[in-house]
Amino acid sequence: MQVMKVFRGLVFILVVLISLVFGYDRAVLAAAESAVKAPTDQSSMPLPLRVEGTRILNSKNEPVILRGVNTASLEWTSDGEGHILDTVRVAIDDWHVNHIRLPLAQDRWFGKTPEQDDEGKAYRALVDEIVNLCASKGCYIILDLHWSNSGQWGKNIGQHLMPDQNSVIFWKDLAPIYANHPAVLYDLYNEPHDVSWDVWLNGGTVSEPGGRRGMEAATYEAVGMQTLLDTIRATGAKNVVVAGGLDWAYDFSGILEGRQLKDPHGNGVIYANHAYNNKGHSADVWIEKMKEATAKFPVIVSEYGGSGGPNRRASWGFRRRTSDSNDDWLLHVMDALQKNNWHWTAWDLHTGAGPTLISDWNYTPTPDFGVYVKQALLGTLPAYTPPVASDTPLEEPAPTMPPPGRRARGLYGDWLVTIEFGDRQMESILSLSRNSEGVLSGQMINFWGLTELQDVKLEENTLSFIQVFRFGGNERTSHFKGTFENGTLSGILAGDMGESKLEGVRSRRIPRVAGKWQLKFNVMDREITAMLVIKDTPEGVLTAEWLNEQGEHVISDVQYNRGRLSFKRKSRIEDFEFESTFEGTIQRQTNTLTGIFRTDMGEIPVEGTRIGAALIGDWNLDVTSDQRSSKQRLRINQDLSGLYGIIPIKKVELTGDKVIFEAALEAGQQKFEVSFEGKISDSKLTGELKTPRGTRQVEGEKVVRTFERPNRG
């Protein structure tokens, strides 16, 4: 009898635990408690650093060469995706770094993001735990202000041209916490760009266009690097400071010309360089720039990355090269870093924030980058010998060209283009696709409307088309011819109004899996509902939230490939902690998700539907008023972001057949807003669009992609 009671008790507990694991409908709470905090042993702390001339010295006057890795995720998540502490431990214990660069976001520090409800307390505690972990292992840590908000708390969170007034508040709060901590360095601001050197140093008014990575247009008062340094020193913190130059921390020219930061009362400034093979410079050019800079001040290459060595990927029979001389840019750069004893921090010990050092969360080094960085940290990286110039061309296999359809595939989709008209510029979207017969077609979309392009042709990598549009009451015609390669498009738009230069880059695509999914599953005889929200960061890393009624749930390691979705979930209910994994399939045609949760207690089938599916996609709109009529495109992305023409959508709602959206475009002090209310029925959209110029009637039809692969017999 006693055995039976015990058995029944275990069965009861099992049922309760299964119910608790899969939860009920309540908002997600804070992340589960992270790993046990390691006590900081003063004897194991690294020695304090200071700058002397071009060198970095410790308190024993010994030269220190900083070699480490970036550990990203706290800029785009508030919990480090659940494995940031493990990443730091692996970097120190297995990869043998002597410093970590930890990217941070000023909004998350103060709890200003939607998923935070504790004013940043948990985020700051996690940062503190990472600092203590590094210090206890004798490792330095660079606290890097990576993401800001253009002066608007909780909005536009990401990489900007320059820091803002809220960045001053960030450093006023953070700097005194780790003031004079022997392990901590401060990185003022990540990758300033597209401003003058005077603004870089002293600040000033800057304007940013909207559209990039979903950002809104913004004009704000940028804060100069000297102000951020002075802010830190005013707190009593003498910690060594890192400052990156312009052109995304690649350019030293202004600093070499005398715009160095003044730091009479601190332990000095190290200037940062970010080295990627996207500047059109050979490794030799970069090395000469580094030698010029390091002869005058200390420099740390606080980000670098790429692919190198024998594992370079092939593309249609071409062997990947980084220069006409067959020089391997990455290995050449790494060789220079080692031979010149330059300080460096590789980007990035993450599976998704490329260029990646690891291929999975077992921390397996990537074969074309991570293996070399790990060798360099262990002192086993082989010396690199650049190729000797020769008049005899290298023998290579004859390239195999892809079929025309495959070669054009990189052209399809949206291009964010800028067209120059004298000293003025117009931003537009060039959208290219093909019909059911494989014929190219295109649209030019701008603030004023949509124009269907004519005679769109692609020959090799040369694109041409004709654009007919109305300007000043007259019909105008222009002809475009240009080239596309490596994600860029450039050419000339010529017509009876003269020639205009057109340049464009590929628009970032939102992964199909992103968005909100309403999930249903059964526990015993009870149907449970939950919402899975999947987001895509600007770096292309997938994150997710689990929204339901009970418990704390943290999702990590979100992977999506060819319709297959998987992730891990940690759940905590009071004193109970559980782990589960999910694997499932997304059906594009039906916008459904089916899969299975697996735990130690068994398997549970899950079914889900995408929220807002009827509205997601492209809509061709006819917009009419008493004065004029025009065509425009409405795009609603999987995550319910979108564009009306080129105007970013701020809000979209679909309730039954009722549709509401609001969009706004800001440029300087000017703001243009539109709002729509209407109905959706059988791929038709009708309603009213309110603009500052009056109300317009809208009728639209959803674009259906009907391309089919040709029958090859």
Instruction: Write the CATH number for 693.
Output: 2.40.128.380
Residues 179, 258 share a domain: yes
Give the pLDDT score at 190: 97
Do 448 and 553 belong together in one domain? no
Distance separating alpha carbons of residues 236 and 167, to the nearest angstrom: 18
Domain stops at, among 587, 610, 633: 610
Separation of alpha carbons 428 and 478, rounded Å: 15
- Say yes or no: 158 and 251 in one domain: yes
Whether residue 711 lies inside any domain: the answer is: no
Tell me, what's the pLDDT at 256? 96
In a domain, 419, yes or no: yes
pLDDT at residue 667, rounded to an integer = 58
CATH number for the domain spanning 165: value is: 3.20.20.80
Do 7 and 59 share a domain, yes or no? no
Q: Are residues 517 and 578 in the same domain?
A: yes
Which residues, including other chains, have CB under 8 Å from residue 61's CB and lie 6 or more apart?
none
- Please tell me whether residues 130 and 256 are part of one structural domain: yes
Residue 122 lies in a domain: yes
CATH of the domain at 463: 2.40.128.20
- Domain contains 583: yes
Answer yes or no: is 288 within a domain: yes
Find the CATH number of the domain harbouring 519.
2.40.128
Please check whether residue 386 lies inside any domain of the structure: no
* pLDDT score recorded for residue 599: 84
Give the pLDDT score at 510: 85
Residue where a domain stops, chosen among 488, 505, 522: 505
- The β-bridge partners of 376 are none
Domain that holds residue 562: 2-24+510-610
pLDDT at 210: 64
- Residue 516 shares a structural domain with residue 496: no
| Measured CA angle at 66 (ends 63, 68), to 5 deg | 160
pLDDT in tens, 347-366: 999 988 889 999 889 999 98
Position 473 scores a pLDDT of: 57
Is 494:478 a contact under the CB 8 Å cutoff? yes
Regions in the chain scoring below 70 on pLDDT: 1-43, 210-215, 307-327, 387-410, 421-423, 435-438, 471-474, 497, 667-670, 705-713
Q: Are residues 47 and 183 in the same domain?
A: yes
Among 487, 505, 523, which residue terminates a domain? 505
Is there a domain that residue 388 lies in? no
Distances (CA, A) of 657 to 29, 612, 680: 32, 11, 5
Assess whether 282 and 355 both reside in one domain: yes
Q: What are all long-range contacts of 652-658, with beta carbons under 8 Å and residues at least 24 apart?
A: 652/612, 652/615, 654/612, 654/614, 654/615, 654/680, 657/681
Give me the half-sphere count of Cα atoms (radius 13 Å) on the Cβ side of residue 633: 24
How far does CA 73 lie from the centroid of its chain?
A: 10
The pLDDT, as a whole number, for residue 19 is 44
Residue 687 · residue 674 · CB < 8 Å: no
Q: Smallest Cα–Cα separation from 327: which of 382, 370, 285?
A: 285
Rounded distance between C-alpha atoms, residue 530 and residue 552, angstroms? 13
Q: What pLDDT score does 549 carry?
A: 72
- Is residue 418 within 8 Å of residue 427, measured between CB atoms? yes
CB 240 within 8 A of CB 269: yes
DSSP 92: H
User: Residue 122 and residue 18: Cα distance in Å, rounded?
Assistant: 28
User: Is residue 35 situated within a structural domain?
Assistant: no
Structural domain total, the chain: 4
Judge if 595 and 461 occupy the same domain: no
At 134 the pLDDT is 97
Query: Which residues have a Cβ under 8 Å from the Cβ of 367 and sit 6 or more positions away?
Result: 309, 311, 359
Same domain, 273 and 228: yes
| Pick from 301, 250, 267: nearest CA to 67 | 301
Residue keyed to tokens 């460096």: 344
Side chain identity, residue 242: V
Same domain for 684 and 573?
A: no
Q: Which two tokens stand for residue 418?
A: 């800028």
CA distance 317 to 309: 17
* Residue 636 per-residue DSSP state: E
